[in-house]
Structure 1
């Protein structure tokens, strides 16, 4: 494939001519007789070099003489002679600075380590300052140090043990008074502890008694409500002309019945109980009809019979045919809803 020659711009053409002209002049200068006598041409000189330019100062030229020897600059092509003394001084200075920096680092490391080691120093009690006489007497009077075996003590513990023993002997009266005060404080603390325990025991007994009485009252209330439930159903079935309200229906919950008077022969009549649809829950009906869980086949049979009897009483068809027509019109809708709630709750209890 032939070589492509792209057309140059006028500026590129001018630069190309200038470059060729400089090459010709340089080549002519190297081949001239004057240039050959002045300096021998070097083989590694480029064709576009512009003369013999030398950068930096020239080395001093020695005076010509019959016995003078050619200098280093004359016999070699090197243009710079290094100053070995200055280089050696700089290296020694750098090495000295490096050693000083390492020494400072070692000092800092030792200071940090010493601070860490001295963070938790062990100072004997007798060397500590700011310690009052009362604190020292309390420490000596304590019997904990005498519970230790001297055979297994270190030097410091043995010294403290000896000082405490000597103080006890030389201050026998003070030690006896301190022991008496200590025994008095211990007896007082023991008495307070016993009194506190007795108070807690009596409070627990009173709480248990209160709970027992409350439970007995609830049981009596539930038994009386069941008696009232049966009595009211008999009266309701025998009566034919009375007009009934929602509260006149003997619903199977405790809150739907009157409470037994606290005193016998009391003429004070309790107000009639009020019942709402929210009171007819499965738990309330179960607590009223079957309060205890069955423990055997006979109890299960009695539970089923009780629930079946109640279902027959509140069956919608049977109830509407006998009693719903005697309920006043404003309460008939609520009675229908209550009957449905009771029957659904009884069916749930029958499945348990």
Structure 2
């Protein structure tokens, strides 16, 4: 992952100048305490030069031995040693405080960095956060990695408003998706309820039509039997569709093919009517009505001549279907 190259802000520029000035002031103070001029190559005397010419030892802080060499005085050596330690300690503390200021927000920066969006320039080719870009533990970072880590935290802090806006948009998008999902589920539930309502309504209409068909079936048979018993049946007054057939009348004309075992069984053995009668009683009662010999002897004279063959065929079909149902009910 390439290193970050963030543009230095005005505040950072001013802070850097201030730190540089502080270091220069501390350095100048050390030279002033040592009695040194601004030029580091000058004499290392501790005290400033007086107006009158001092002795060689006071002026230069050292003396010559008998062999022509030189050695610093004991007081000067002791003082320089302590001042050097103090100066090094001050410089170390200043650098330590600088590092502590940078490190003060590292935990917060890590938390924000983990929670906020990572710019594309810090991502790998797949668009995900580059693996290994930030070690999990700060103790495992080297200087460059730690500097990169701090710069990222600074970026997150300076772009906090953008990050918060982005988080707000993500939350708004998530809330919108949640509402849309809830609406879709509610719409599907309403649609399922509507489908179920239509199915029940259709089933109710079918049941009502079935019950009405059964009532019409019984009514026709009652009228025919009464007319046959009272000899009031007019010859040739009945057509094929005028006779009661054991099928549901749905408005269309009854056909011979429609008089099959399945249709007749569904009509006669339906639980929507004749709950007081058993299956066997229903089938036996229908067999008495559609017995070919009895039907032809009592009712055929009322059927028109041109439709008698068709009626005879239909009665035979119904009788055979009822016989099969009777055998089935006998085994129950």
In the superposition, the TM-score normalised over structure 1's length comes to 0.48
Query: What's the counterpart of residue 31 of structure 2?
Result: none
Structure 1: distance between partners of 2:308 and 2:204: 37
| Per-residue CA distance 1:164-206 (angstroms, 9 max, x = gap) | 7664334211110100010111111111111111111111111
Query: What's the counterpart of residue 94 of structure 2?
Result: none
Change in CA separation of 1:220 and 1:167 when aligned onto 2, cut-off 3 Å: same
Contact 2:235 2:301 in 1 (8 A): no
Query: What's the counterpart of residue 34 of structure 1?
Result: none
In the superposition, the TM-score normalised over structure 2's length comes to 0.51
1:285 aligns with 2:278: no
Structure 1 consecutive aligned stretches of length 4 or more whose deviation exceeds 3 Å = 124-127, 133-139, 158-170
Query: What's the counterpart of residue 87 of structure 1?
Result: none
1:218 aligns with 2:206: yes
Query: What's the counterpart of residue 240 of structure 2?
Result: 246
| Per-residue CA distance 1:106-148 (angstroms, 9 max, x = gap) | xxxxxxxxxxxxxxxxxx5889xxxxx9645899x999x9xxx
Change in CA separation of 1:315 and 1:125 when aligned onto 2, cut-off 3 Å: farther
Query: What's the counterpart of residue 174 of structure 2?
Result: 186
Superposition deviation, residue 292 in structure 1:
3.9
Change in CA separation of 1:247 and 1:186 when aligned onto 2, cut-off 3 Å: same
Superposition deviation, residue 306 in structure 1:
0.3
1:175 aligns with 2:163: yes
Superposition deviation, residue 304 in structure 1:
0.5
What SS does structure 2 have at the residue aligned with 1:251? coil
Structure 1 runs not aligned, ≥5 long: 1-123, 128-132, 259-272, 294-298
Change in CA separation of 1:291 and 1:163 when aligned onto 2, cut-off 3 Å: farther
The structure whose RCO (Cα within 8 Å, separation 6+) is larger is: 2
Query: What's the counterpart of residue 276 of structure 1?
Result: 255
Structure 2: distance between partners of 1:288 and 1:315: 18
Query: What's the counterpart of residue 300 of structure 2?
Result: 324
Structure 2: distance between partners of 1:166 and 1:248: 97
| Per-residue CA distance 1:53-101 (angstroms, 9 max, x = gap) | xxxxxxxxxxxxxxxxxxxxxxxxxxxxxxxxxxxxxxxxxxxxxxxxx
Superposition deviation, residue 223 in structure 1:
0.9
Aligned residues: CA RMSD: 4.1
Query: What's the counterpart of residue 336 of structure 1?
Result: 312
Instruction: Name the count of aligned residue pairs.
Output: 199
Structure 2: distance between partners of 1:142 and 1:176: 20
Structure 2: distance between partners of 1:135 and 1:242: 99
Between 162-171 and 185-194, the greater mean CA deviation after superposition: 162-171
Query: What's the counterpart of residue 150 of structure 1?
Result: 136
Between 235-244 and 166-175, the greater mean CA deviation after superposition: 166-175
Structure 1: distance between partners of 2:327 and 2:2: 79
Superposition deviation, residue 213 in structure 1:
1.0
Contact 2:260 2:321 in 1 (8 A): yes
Superposition deviation, residue 220 in structure 1:
1.0
Query: What's the counterpart of residue 97 of structure 1?
Result: none
Superposition deviation, residue 350 in structure 1:
2.6
